[in-house]
Structure 1
Amino acid sequence: RQIRAFVRCAVKAREAGYDGVEVMGSEGYFINQFLSQATNLRRDAWGGDYSHRMRLPVEILARMREAVGPDFIIIYRLSMIDLVPGGSAWDEIVTLGKAVATGGANIVNTGIGWHEARVPTIATSVPRAAFAWVTQKMKAEFAAAGITTPLVTSNRINTPEVAEQVLADGCADMVSMARPLLADAAFVKKAAQGRADRINTCIACNQACLDHVFQNKTSSCLVNPRACHETELVYRPVSSRKRIAVVGAGPAGLTAATVAAERGHEVHLFDAAPAIGGQLNMAKVIPGKEEFHEMLRYLATRVEDTGVLLHLNRKVAAADLAGFDEVIVATGVEPRDPKIPGQDHPKVLSYIDVLRHGKPVGERVAIIGAGGIGFDVAEFLTHGEHPSTTLDLPAWKAEWGITDPAEARGGLAASGPRVTPPARQVTLLQRKKGKLGGGLGKTTGWIHRTVLKMKAVEMVGGVNYERIADEGLLVSYGEKREDPTWIPCDTVVLCAGQVPLRSLAQDLEAQGRKPHLIGGALEAGELDAKRAIDQAARLAARL
């Protein structure tokens, strides 16, 4: 019955006018589960030794090809490295690869890891083209067997330059991309025109694509809010040109300014800082978040291309904005005051002191607040001066315990992950009881928690912050403030949330004007760039 269902889907796709289908034989789904000895415990003709376990995909492809004919494309996505205990051995993967390449598939695509794998495979901290070497191994196997079926490689290929290098190195015949085309639907056109520097690069954050999918929400893109909303979020040319001031050149302000200018308005963008980016300039220094450099690069090109008049090192007051038809306030946030006795102690720093100003931090650190910023600061401080493994593929593979699947089933090293010792001893704390990082991304939160565990970060919830003194940070537990305990530390970093910066908006309102608030200036919770950019785009589209 299941085989018939696969075949029926392919037939219906052909009847609907599609040129082909891809059979999902990877990522731990139904077909993949039949292949693994860890999950296929059957004792009949569909289980047991590998020739029986691989029978399901072979039968699916043979019957599918018979049903759709020779001139319909069938791609088979082959799990080339499972990254789970008891995953397939390399000789098994090769056997199946050869069988599908000669048994009905026109193209063989690369699947990486099961969803259950405790190794990241597509998140922003994964090096670009991190698994192209696996496809290259299969390409050599195909060549040795005289098989010419094209091989596709996948995962974290997000720029034309990366794709070209993968092909030039002989890793594959083709490359597969999905999220980069959400980030910029004109990706291929811009690459063909030699305008790669104008591509809105996927930063692999997953916040609006996969995180939405797994919550039954419409998929979109953090860096491109029009993705999957193209018919409702339309940037139409304006019939009446306005003079618009945007104050704040963070992601919200940059988006509002460039969309408004693209539509034909005269837009002036002001920021007191010497560079655009706002909070993005702190995000980009976190190990594993280097893709934020690409986001900033693209936003800078948008300012240039749309003709936004940029005024940096310029702090504006309400009086400076008298000549504008519309004022958009995107002034962002400031750290919330946690009002902890002793927080004026010399050992206390804010996350801004650490990430933006590079102030010295001691060997023992207590971080107050375990939201996204608290996790970022913990990763930054435990990493220290070591180069980011996101930029060093061998080091990244070692850190996550990845090895050649020819050496170990599933591609997991028997020795396990090899973690660089933490640069500092860090304790991460939150007032709320329960798991720390519960509000992080659905598909990426587990990675951040795992990284901190690997770096021996102590995570403590349900605490009250009593005071800060020479001894360190004094905490108690529960509503009754029981068991007062000193956490010895040299530095306390405050990551206790943010509040909107609205003084300019309030001054404008006092003059009887009605500014538009977007981003952190409207709502400060967790510095949500996805929400901020979407708000900005929708506002600029209707002005």
Structure 2
Amino acid sequence: MTSLYPHLLAPLDLGYTTLKNRVLMGSMHTGLEDAAKHTPRLAAYFAERARGGVGLIVTGGVAPNIAGWAKPLAGTLATHAAAKRHRVVTDAVHAEGGKIAMQILHTGRYGYHPFAVGPSAIKSPISPFKPSELSARGVESQIKAFVRCAALAREAGYDGVEVMGSEGYFINQFLSSHTNKRKDGWGGDYSNRMRLPVEIMSRTREAVGRDFIIIYRLSMLDLIPDGSNWDETVLLAKAIEGAGASIINTGIGWHEARVPTIATSVPRAAFAWVTRKMKGEVGIPLVTTNRINTPEVAEALLADGCADMVSMARPLLADPDFVNKAARGLNAEINTCIACNQACLDHAFKNKVASCLVNPRACHETELHYDRTLKPKRIAVIGAGPAGLACATTLAGRGHNVELFESASEIGGQFNMAKRIPGKEEFHETLRYFGSQITRTGVRLHLNTRADAASLIAQQFDDVVLATGVVPRDPKIKGQDSANVVSYIDVLRGNAKVGEKVAVVGAGGIGFDVSEFLVGDGHSATLDLKAWKAEWGVGDPAESRGGLKRPELSPPTRKVTLLQRKVGKPGAGLGKTTGWIHRSALKMKQVEMLSGVNYDGIDARGLHISFGDKHKNPTCIEADTIVLCTGQEPLRELEAPLTAAGVKVHRIGGADVASELDAKRAIDQGSRLAARL
């Protein structure tokens, strides 16, 4: 069984217990941790991952007390009654043969509530609440809360705990002079600043005994000014090992860092080098993390000696059977995480229960079931974009007879354009997955086939699903038929010649994508780790504090101006956790962004604009090419004749709502419809 991935699937002996493989399901907040009513759902979610073969699961962060809350009423473990409730989760995981550790997360100044505390009263840029500075007695109280929480986790049946010491949370805040301005024994030089994590670790080990896993999440690369240098990080790692840690997990970047660390534009395994740098400094197992999403990448990292385990969080949202599929050689059937953040982290930061764009069942295992049908139907799905693919393959997997019609020569719809955007190469993986599912489930695929109402009616399908997508909206700009005007579709399909000066009309997601495509001429730093690190200023922490250095910016290949009619910040509707990355990327490429614009006309000079209701400051954006990214309209031409003929018609994806291309909604909608029919 281990021959395919001998390192990844090898057991890891910790002395008092053995992990069945080297896969750690990394901690990720789902929102299910925060309410007792969600405990059965949380149990089902983790049980499915344990059944899928994960070596060790780490839960989302659980606060040790109110001061440590991420938000009001966040998940907390501070009483015996709470420990009893957690038994539902641990029993479910153990019943599937898995092991699970609970992450103890104290957010410190990141807490989104008025009870936040920290080493110093310095407000975080990501929270409106200024923390109270702890007294020496208060520091002791927080240490005791960590220890009590770990002991209660053992009582609750967990196999271990992970002490969250990275990402800029409470412990990290004591370590860095950026946030620790104390003059007592908990501040000052590094030996004092590192006292907190060492005390937490040593006292926790004493409280839980030797036969209990304790993972310490160590910030190996802070990516902030005044972050730790490498000598300090190694000193702490050795002290943490000496204090009784079983495993050290790699943490990358504070939440306030202005360097992307887990988005899809980050190269795969972009930070494994820093874990490798720690190898040999400590004797306990090391875990490497961030953007590891295929068994091949994970195996290579372990084989190269970068680490002893790999952490994958979102990849196990995307596919709970990741490990078992890898072990059976079913790589093509792995539903790969594309690191989009749209349904996981974006949901978490909006106080919504997390899910997964490519797997809507994630965190919804108790409500979204793909049960085998007892009454197979003949169903036609029109359109093989994300919505149609999800619907067709789910329907066929349930036992329905499904015919999928696509007018293009390949499946994918809008994903075939998205995958051409620098930093969105992972979209290839979703299409590869759906291609394998079409074969596995027996969907009859008709490419280069434009379905017409008469044919569909004649074939007497029980149901017809319209996943026909969208058509570009007509912006009705004077002169838009000029030779220098093209659609985003023409640009991304390579059918348009684009000049050196470009005006992109429309600053939604497509406008940003097109701009990124044009300023780099298709070159993607995501596929070039050295170039990506240089571009974002990621350096060696042995040479610069926090691993930050001056970015090395390459000039844009075109001069691009991005415009929108709306007043306000361009890109305001982009993903909550990724929008800043796209704005920063365009800023680095000197893209000018204008809002509150009126489009007064187009001529050979370029795009004529003015501002506001009174059309103030008229000017011409000189441009060789004007690219229209002005929204979409649903394509529903089949609906009326089919409905008139008495056919049961269902709309999903862009054919249903086209206000903004939304693969998350499309796949969720297609999957849920397929579960109902």
For Structure 1 versus Structure 2, the TM-score category normalised by the shorter chain is over 0.9
Distance 2:553 2:336 in 1: 30
Distance 1:377 1:275 in 2: 22
Partner of 1:364: 501
SS of equivalent residue, structure 2 residue 325: helix
**For the Cα contact (< 8 Å) 2:568–2:596, is it kept in 1?**
yes
The correspondence of residues 251-330 of structure 1 with structure 2, limited to 5 A, is: 251-322=386-457, 323-330=460-467
Distance 2:324 2:652 in 1: 32
472-481 vs 446-455, which deviates more? 472-481
Partner of 1:75: 215
Partner of 2:640: 506
Distance 2:609 2:520 in 1: 26
Partner of 2:593: 459
2:267 pairs with 120, 127, 131, which one? 127
Distance 1:26 1:455 in 2: 31
**For the Cα contact (< 8 Å) 2:555–2:589, is it kept in 1?**
yes
The correspondence of residues 331-370 of structure 1 with structure 2, limited to 5 A, is: 331-370=468-507
**For the Cα contact (< 8 Å) 2:422–2:522, is it kept in 1?**
no
Distance 1:357 1:240 in 2: 45
Partner of 2:530: 394
Distance 1:155 1:357 in 2: 32
Partner of 1:200: 335
**For the Cα contact (< 8 Å) 2:387–2:669, is it kept in 1?**
yes
Pairing 1:225–2:365 present: no
Superimposed CA distance per residue, residues 279-319 of structure 1 (whole angstroms, 9 cap, x where no aligned partner) = 00000000000000101100100000000000000001111
Partner of 2:307: 172
Partner of 1:405: 541
Give the gaps of 5 or more residues in structure 1: 143-147
1:375 pairs with 499, 507, 512, which one? 512
Distance 2:508 2:355 in 1: 23
Distance 2:327 2:454 in 1: 47
The correspondence of residues 59-138 of structure 1 with structure 2, limited to 5 A, is: 59-138=199-278
Partner of 1:489: 623
Partner of 1:50: 190
Superimposed CA distance per residue, residues 438-493 of structure 1 (whole angstroms, 9 cap, x where no aligned partner) = 00001000000000000000000000000001111000100111111111000000
Partner of 2:556: 422
The correspondence of residues 186-197 of structure 1 with structure 2, limited to 5 A, is: 186-197=321-332
Distance 2:148 2:602 in 1: 67
Q: What displacement does 1:385 show?
A: 4.8
Counterpart residue identity of residue 490, structure 1: D
Counterpart residue identity of residue 506, structure 2: G
Partner of 2:180: 40
Q: What displacement does 1:509 show?
A: 2.1
Distance 1:471 1:249 in 2: 40
Q: What displacement does 1:141 show?
A: 2.4
Superimposed CA distance per residue, residues 228-277 of structure 1 (whole angstroms, 9 cap, x where no aligned partner) = 11111101111111100000000000111001100110000001100000
Counterpart residue identity of residue 107, structure 1: I
**For the Cα contact (< 8 Å) 2:345–2:577, is it kept in 1?**
yes
Counterpart residue identity of residue 260, structure 2: P
Pairing 1:27–2:167 present: yes
Q: What displacement does 1:12 show?
A: 1.1
SS of equivalent residue, structure 1 residue 104: coil
**For the Cα contact (< 8 Å) 2:422–2:516, is it kept in 1?**
yes
Distance 2:199 2:178 in 1: 21
SS of equivalent residue, structure 1 residue 342: coil
Q: What displacement does 1:101 show?
A: 1.2
Partner of 2:666: 532
SS of equivalent residue, structure 1 residue 352: helix
Distance 2:557 2:660 in 1: 26
SS of equivalent residue, structure 2 residue 279: helix
Q: What displacement does 1:125 show?
A: 0.5
**For the Cα contact (< 8 Å) 2:506–2:565, is it kept in 1?**
yes
Partner of 1:9: 149
**For the Cα contact (< 8 Å) 2:463–2:647, is it kept in 1?**
no
Change in CA separation of 1:180 and 1:236 when aligned onto 2, cut-off 3 Å? same
Distance 1:239 1:305 in 2: 20
Superimposed CA distance per residue, residues 380-421 of structure 1 (whole angstroms, 9 cap, x where no aligned partner) = 0001153x11111111100111111000000011xx111111
Counterpart residue identity of residue 39, structure 1: T
Distance 2:291 2:255 in 1: 16
Partner of 2:521: 384
54-63 vs 315-324, which deviates more? 315-324
Counterpart residue identity of residue 367, structure 2: E
Distance 2:270 2:598 in 1: 42
Distance 1:97 1:35 in 2: 12
Counterpart residue identity of residue 501, structure 1: L
1:449 pairs with 574, 577, 583, which one? 583
Q: What displacement does 1:10 show?
A: 0.7
SS of equivalent residue, structure 2 residue 363: coil
Q: What displacement does 1:514 show?
A: 3.5
SS of equivalent residue, structure 2 residue 280: helix
Q: What displacement does 1:193 show?
A: 0.9
Counterpart residue identity of residue 537, structure 2: G
Change in CA separation of 1:329 and 1:538 when aligned onto 2, cut-off 3 Å? same
Give the gaps of 5 or more residues in structure 2: 1-140
Aligned residues: percent identity? 71
Distance 1:403 1:182 in 2: 31
Partner of 1:145: none
Distance 2:647 2:374 in 1: 23
TM-score by length of 2: 0.78
Distance 1:232 1:320 in 2: 36
Distance 2:375 2:287 in 1: 49
Change in CA separation of 1:385 and 1:270 when aligned onto 2, cut-off 3 Å? closer
Distance 2:398 2:294 in 1: 27
Counterpart residue identity of residue 64, structure 1: T
Counterpart residue identity of residue 145, structure 2: A
